[in-house]
Chain A
Amino acid sequence: MAHQISAATVTSPLLRKVERISGQNLSLCYQCGKCSATCPLAPQMDLMPHLVIRYLQLGLEQVFDAKSYWLCATCFSCETQCPRGLDVSKVCEALRTIKLRNDLRDLKIEKPSPEMPQQGLVSAFRKLSPY
């Protein structure tokens, strides 16, 4: 079935919320794919980073079904490479944040090793909670 596109989908509340929280103007993305080419987690993602943006541009809510944005390590490789200065990690963060603020996921986390530096623990809690 064809995906219906209209002014409503292009400026959907979902897109607006993601743009507000991420501070990124997704109209700028011209789908060059450099973010996907450089992302170290891309091989493990079900939806490539540039396609996450594409789905948002098209107003496709099934972007939330993807595993991709949970796998973003915030390494900023995408941001460094993007020819138009977009930060895809912020978009992933926005998607996670929207999910976490609305629907506290039942995150199953294995007990981390006591040798893990608190740097890792604190970062993880920051990324995996709405706060």
Chain B
Amino acid sequence: MRRVGVFVCHCGLNIAGTVNIKEITDAASKTPDVVVAADHRYLCSEPGQALIKDNIKQHRLDAIVVAACSPAMHEVTFRNVARAAGLNRYQSEIANIREQCSWVHDNIEKATEKAHVIIRQSIEKVKLNELLDPITVPVTRKALVIGGGIAGIRAALDVANSGHQVYLVEKTGSIGGRMAQLSETFPTLDCSICILGPLMVEAYRNPNIKILRLSEVEEVKGFIGNFKVKVRQAPVYVDETKCNSCAECVKVCPAEVPNEFDSDLTWRKAIYIPFAQAVPPAYVLDEKSCLGLLPQACGECKKACDKLGMSCINLDAHPETHELEVGAIISATGYEMYDAARLTEYGYGIYPDVMTSLEFERMLSASGPTSGIIRRPSDGRIPKEVVFIQCAGQREPETALAYCSKICCMYTARHAMLFHHKVPDGQAYVFYMDIRAGGKGYEEFVKRCQEEGGVLYLRGRVAKVHEEDDKLVVKGVDTLSGKTVQIHADVVVLAVGMVPSQGSRELANTLKASVDENGFFAEAHPKLRPLESATAGIFLAGAGQAPKDIPETVAQASGAASKALNLLSSPTLEREPTVARIVNEQCSGCGICVPACPFEALSMNTEKRIAEVAEALCEGCGTCVASCPSGALSLRNLTDTQIMAMIRAGSG
């Protein structure tokens, strides 16, 4: 004879509005093995929890069923209540009569009947639950940050400054990311690299941060607190500890390719420094554009370097795999620009004077392709009439990206004003749909740009851009006046959308994290858990999770760091014990379960010829249980016996 207590929550009207609470409470109290049944308006509240605790003590309950909302909401709350009252955590079960009942039905009679069944099933389950204790695992108190942009740098610094070792993995030859490519930042008009540079140097000098440049994450095994990561570092041909950036190698290199830092507006050599303030402060040899290393086709750079007695260059370097053990991973992989050539109505890629906003940004920059002078790519002349097109290929679910990239209204205002500063007799036009300036100081900044820039804002989209003589004819509309308009522009700048960096999807696969429909890393909950991925131990920061501006990125990076520090703050952590269990005598050694496990928690013990579960890796998904033909595998607290009892309770 068991002593089960059933507690039914009204959840305000969420449940009580569709389910007859009195009826199901009465029925529960009359169920065999149930000694008390009570209801409450909000069981999750302090008085609600107190009600349960008191009843457990008063009636000497040995199990409780809480009929309320989804376990995703309060399973932990009520397990803790059970524990506080002296029971084992797993002597508490949730009967979800909200998401699975009251919220999806409107017929009160039928919903009530269904709630009866759900509660009866939970009663049967809880009676057969094993009393389990959480599994304790040690935590590797180090972190991995993937991506060396402002998000990655900020997160790495925060974790490192709290005393933990951080590996900062960066795909390119230098950290800095997109922010290094910007000329100024809104709304302060700070020189971007000037405010970023000190953070880059700080990261480089911090003894707790190890920067792995030219590196990518290849493999991730393990689980929260215990990740084993393989990072592949491309051959480092130039020794960063020796290189002093004298640039003699560059002078003699014969291979020239488009410079991606300048958005392909200029050239660089195969041996190059990503940008002047690069960190680590060393040159990079790009083997794809080098004339040949295997066999060596040139070798001039090495000769020049050796002649100076520097000997920084080793043309025989090979890739290296670093095996890292970390407890937390922060993904900060950032963004790139949408391919503007897909917007065929604007002629990007066909007319050289149609540029993307990032290309225009590079042109504005003093360190850019034209030393900060705005020039037409086609003939180098200074443009007088410049058209900026906002929402290019965005907010267009039917023809391009459905979403809004948030920052384009702001940087376009800055672009238009800076253009006017540099070309005082020039005229800037901005085609817009809305002006989104929600951040602190943003609206004021837009006003300033309009004032100082003499910009003509035209509300409407552009239908087509075509070339006539040496001008670009822009056909658009101004919906405010109701007129179609035409501008003969010298340059057209497209504010295209932010998309996740190339390789994000593959990385997400490697991390076993998910991405959303647009390829951005998916957060565990859009409102309340924006910094965690759904995969435990993997945190998100920056534009790799969704388009955002720099203040948000920095805030998110520090937040993700704090989440990581939560994890690293203790030498151990607890994992759910509701994992798979093998009855050794029943295991036939067929091995079908091993490849079935998505978490690689199962392996064959070749000596004993039976399968074994690594409990720390098991996520309790049950796939192996379903695959086992001998029935040797079962899931703790969700056994076949329990399921059958629940089915019987439901069909009785």
Most buried by B among A34, A51, A82, A84: A34
- Choose, from A13-21, A37-45, A113-121, the stretch at the interface: A37-45
CB distance from A79 to the nearest CB of B (A): 9
Whether A48 and B482, one on each chain, are in contact in the complex, defined by CB atoms closer than 8 angstroms, is yes
A81 to B460, CA, bound (A): 13
CA distance A107 to B166 in the complex (A): 79
Chain A residues with CB under 8 A of B464: 37-38
**For residue A30, which residues in chain B have a CB less than 8 angstroms away from its CB?**
395, 433
CA distance in complex: A78, B396 (Å): 14
Which single residue of chain B is at the shortest CB-CB distance from A30? Answer: B433
Q: Please give the distance in Å from B153's CB to the nearest CB on chain A.
A: 36
Q: Cβ of B478 < 8 Å from any Cβ of A? A: yes
Q: Which of B391, B398, B462, B477 contacts A48 (CB 8 A)?
A: B477
> B345's contact among A48, A50, A81, A82, by CB below 8 Å, is which?
A81
Contact of B397 among A37, A50, A85 (CB under 8 A): A85
Please tell me if the beta carbons of A32 and B479 are within 8 angstroms of each other in the complex. yes
Chain B residues contacting A37 (CB-CB under 8 Å) are 460-464, 475-477, 484
Q: Which of A16-34 contact B (CB under 8 A)?
A: 30-34
Q: Are B396 and A38 in contact (CB under 8 A)?
A: no
Among A37, A42, A50, residue most surrounded by chain B Cβ atoms (within 10 Å) = A37
Is there contact, CB below 8 Å, between A33 and B460?
Answer: yes
Contact between chains at A48 and B484 (CB < 8 Å): yes
Is A97's beta carbon under 8 Å from chain B? no
Q: A77: which B residues are within 8 A, CB to CB?
A: 463
1/0 per residue A99-129: CB within 8 Å of B? Answer: 0000000000000000000000000000000
Question: In the complex, A34 Cα to B460 Cα: how many Å?
Answer: 7
Q: How far is the CA of A36 from the CA of B475 in the complex (A)?
A: 10
Taking CB atoms and an 8 Å cut-off, the chain A residues in 38-87 that contact chain B are 38, 42-43, 48, 50-51, 77, 81-85
For residue A82, which residues in chain B have a CB less than 8 angstroms away from its CB?
Answer: 398-399
CB distance from B568 to the nearest CB of A (A): 46
Verify B398–A50 contact, CB threshold 8 A.
Answer: no
Inter-chain contacts of A85 with B (CB < 8 A) = 397-399
A83 touches B479 (CB 8 A): no
User: Is B398's CB under 8 angstroms from A84's CB?
Assistant: yes
Closest to B394 in A: A83
Assess the A50–B396 pair: CB atoms within 8 A. no
Partner of A32, one of B345, B433, B475, B484: B433
Cβ contact within 8 Å between B460 and A83 = no
| Complexed CA–CA distance, A43 and B397 (Å) | 28
State whether A36 and B484 are in contact (beta carbons under 8 Å apart), knowing that A81-B399, A85-B398 are contacts in the complex: yes
Chain B residue numbers with a CB within 8 Å of A48 are 477, 479, 482-484
B478 partner residues in chain A, CB cutoff 8 A:
33
Given the known interface contacts A32-B461, A83-B461, the answer about A43 and B484 at a Cβ–Cβ threshold of 8 Å is yes
Known A-B contacts A42-B484, A48-B482, A81-B463; A36 and B477 likewise in contact (beta carbons under 8 Å): yes
The answer to whether B398 and A34 have CB atoms under 8 Å apart is no
Q: Mark B62-79, 1 if CB is under 8 A from A, else 0.
A: 000000000000000000
Distance in angstroms from B478 CB to nearest chain A CB is 7
* CB-nearest residue of chain B to A85: B398
- Is A38 a contact of B397 with CB atoms below 8 Å? no
User: How far is B463's CA from A34's CA once the two chains are assembled, in angstroms?
Assistant: 6
Chain B residue nearest to A32 (CB atoms) is B461
| B476 / chain A contacts, CB cutoff of 8 Å | 33, 37
Instruction: Give the docked Cα–Cα distance between A1 and B297 (Å).
Output: 82
Nearest Cβ on chain B to A118's Cβ, whole angstroms: 32
On chain A, the residues within 8 Å of B396 by CB distance are 83-84
Residues of A near B459 (CB, < 8 A) are 33
How many angstroms from the CA of A77 to the CA of B475 in the assembled complex? 13
B399: chain A residues within 8 A (beta carbon): 81-83, 85
Shortest CB-to-CB span from B473 to chain A, Å, is 12
User: Bound complex: CA of A122 vs CA of B632, how far in Å?
Assistant: 75
- Asked if residues B475 and A83 are in contact (CB atoms below 8 Å), the reply is no
Contact of B479 among A36, A38, A42, A81 (CB under 8 A): A36
A47 to nearest B CB, angstroms? 8
Determine the distance from Cα of A34 to Cα of B478 in the docked complex, in whole angstroms.
Answer: 10
**Contact across chains for A84 and B397 when beta carbons are under 8 A apart:** yes
Rounded to whole Å, the gap between the CB of B405 and the closest CB of chain A is: 14
CB-based nearest A residue for B432: A32
CB of A33 within 8 A of CB of B345, answer no
Q: Which residue of A lies closest to B460 (CB)?
A: A33
Residue numbers in B under 8 Å from A31 (CB-CB): 479
Determine the residue in chain B with the shortest Cβ distance to A36. B477
**Closest Cβ of chain A: how far from B591's Cβ, in Å?**
51
**B395 touching A50, Cβ below 8 Å:** no
A34 to B393 alpha-carbon distance, docked (Å)? 12
Chain B residue nearest to A77 in the complex (CB): B463
Cross-interface CB contact of B461 among A34, A42, A43, A51, cutoff 8 Å: A34
Contacts of A51 in B (CB 8 A): 479, 482
Q: Which B residue sits closest to A48, measured CB to CB? A: B482
CB distance from B249 to the nearest CB of A (A): 49
Query: Smallest distance from the beta carbon of B465 to chain A beta carbons, Å?
Result: 11
How many angstroms from the CA of A83 to the CA of B462 in the assembled complex? 11
Q: How far is the CB of B254 from chain A (nearest CB, A)?
A: 47
Let me know if A33 and B398 touch, CB within 8 A: no
When chains A and B are docked, how far (Å) is the Cα of A33 from the Cα of B461?
A: 6
CB-defined contacts of B463 to chain A, threshold 8 Å:
34, 37-38, 77, 81
Name which of B397, B433, B477, B482 has the most chain A CB atoms within 10 A of its CB: B477
Q: Please name all residues of chain B whose beta carbon is closer than 8 Å to the beta carbon of A83 when the two chains form the complex.
A: 395-400, 461
Query: Could you tell me the distance in whole angstroms from the C-beta of B403 to the nearest C-beta in chain A?
Result: 12
User: Taking the nearest CB of chain A, how far is it from the CB of B594, in angstroms?
Assistant: 48
Q: Quick one: given A32-B461, A34-B460, A37-B462, are A50 and B433 in contact (CB under 8 Å)?
A: no
Binary per-residue interface labels of chain B (39-81) against chain A in the complex, 1 for a CB within 8 Å, 0 otherwise: 0000000000000000000000000000000000000000000
CB distance from A67 to the nearest CB of B (A): 15
Please, which residues of chain A bring their CB within 8 A of the CB of B400?
83
Q: Are B460 and A32 in contact (CB under 8 A)?
A: yes
Cα(A12)–Cα(B398), bound, Å: 27
In residues 429-479 of chain B, which contact A (Cβ within 8 Å)?
A: 433, 459-464, 475-479
12 contacts across the A-B interface (CB closer than 8 A): A31-B479, A32-B391, A33-B460, A33-B461, A34-B463, A38-B464, A51-B479, A77-B463, A81-B399, A83-B395, A83-B399, A84-B396
Contacts A34-B463, A77-B463 aside, 10 further interface pairs with beta carbons under 8 A come to: A32-B461, A33-B459, A33-B461, A33-B477, A34-B460, A36-B477, A36-B479, A81-B461, A82-B399, A85-B398
Q: Chain A: residues with CB nearer than 8 A to chain B?
A: 30-34, 36-38, 42-43, 48, 50-51, 77, 81-85
Query: Which 7 A/B pairs are nearest by Cβ-Cβ distance?
Result: A83-B396, A85-B398, A38-B463, A33-B460, A33-B477, A37-B463, A37-B477
